[in-house]
A = this chain, B = another copy of it.
Amino acid sequence: MPKPCLTDEELTTALADLDGWTLEEGGKAITAGFKFADFPAAFGFMATCAPTAEKMDHHPEWSNVYNSVDVRLTTHDSGGVTELDIKLARAMNKAAG
C-alpha cells in the first residue's frame, strides 16, 4: 500500500525543520538546490546519497551541473510528498554537511 501523503500541517512542520527545502508549486514534491566547492565535491555528495536512496528504495530526481546539484523528491506511488521524501531530504542535508 502506498504511504499516505503528508497533510499540509505535517508538511509545514517538516519543511520548517529542513534547511533549504521548499514545496514545489502544486505541492506534489519538495525541491532543494545544493552548491559545493567544485565538481568532485558535488559528485561526492551524490555518491554519498545514492546508497541511502537505494537502501530506502526511494530515489531522487536530481541533476548536476559542475558544482551544483538540484534535487526533487516525490513519492510517485502516493502522488505527492510522504515521510519517505522527508527522510531522504534529511539524509541528503546530512550528506551535504
* A95 touches B (CB below 8 Å): no
Minimum distance in angstroms from A59 CB to a CB of chain B: 5
A39 near B54 with CB under 8 A, answer yes
A16 at the B interface (CB under 8 A): no
A47-89: which have CB < 8 Å to B? 47, 50, 53-54, 59-66
Please tell me if A46 contacts chain B, counting CB pairs below 8 Å.
yes
Q: Is the CB of A63 within 8 A of B63?
A: yes
Say if the beta carbon of A40 comes within 8 Å of chain B: yes
Chain A residues within 8 Å of B, Cβ to Cβ? 39-40, 43, 46-47, 50, 53-54, 59-66
13 A–B pairs (Cβ distance < 8 Å), ordered by A? A39-B50, A39-B53, A39-B59, A43-B46, A43-B54, A47-B50, A59-B65, A59-B66, A60-B64, A61-B63, A61-B64, A62-B63, A62-B64
